[in-house]
Structure 1
Amino acid sequence: MEVSEFKASTGQERLPDGLSVHLRALWYDKKGDWHRAHDLIDSLGDEDSAFLHAYLHRKEGDLSNADYWYRRAGKKRPMKGLDEEWEEMVRYFLSR
């Protein structure tokens, strides 16, 4: 699947089959369901999940919490927009 196909799928009612937990979270986030996205990754402890967790808290506006999760992911809060970060994360998780 390409980024454009993934993005287009967020206009559908049904989640595409076979997506990783990270892509499912990004899909729900794009659909405006922040809580469902957060619930999917909240209990995961790996660095990829921490990165996604950080993005979600940044989007929520809780920057101190976001910074905590960026540190757990070994990253710094990016200076780019949320849409750009979302797309980069989709690209990354599609490649895994």
Structure 2
Amino acid sequence: MTADEIASSAAQDATYPTGLTDTEKVLWLAKAGRWDEAHDLCQELPNPAGSWIHAWLHRQEGDYGNACYWYARANKPAPASGAPLEDEWFQIARELAR
């Protein structure tokens, strides 16, 4: 799914579509506002993608210090604390979704 398709599904559907990768599931859950589920699943992704989403989730939560730790683990620069979360979600999703 593309980033736009994931965002659309997350806004309309009660659950994520079948056939998504674990990374796409985390993106869907994050976009759907299901923070706890997204956080739990992203911790199971043993790669920089999971760390990048994890960082975004902590920034969304308002824990910028913890987010910076996860950005470093993902080898990504931490955006300014007030940078738009929506823009970053799409940046992440466009890079990580199929």
Does TM-score exceed 0.5, indicating one fold? Answer: yes
Tell me the amino acid that sits aligned with residue 43 of structure 2. Answer: D
Unaligned runs of 5+ in 2: none
Q: After superposition, what is the alpha-carbon deviation per residue over 1:36-61, rounded to whole angstroms, capped at 9, x for unaligned?
A: 00000114331111111111111111
Length-normalised TM-score, structure 1 = 0.88
Among 74, 88, 94, which residue is 1:85 paired with?
A: 88
Match of 1:5 in 2: 5
- Runs (4+) of structure 1 exceeding 4 A deviation are none
Structure 1 runs not aligned, ≥5 long: none
SS of residue in 2 equivalent to 1:13: coil
Matched pairs, number = 95
Shift in Å, 1:82: 0.5
Where do 1:23-62 residues align within 5 Å? Answer: 23-62=24-63
TM-score (norm 2): 0.86
In the alignment, the residues of structure 1 paired with residue 60 and residue 3 of structure 2 have an alpha-carbon distance, to the nearest angstrom, of: 20
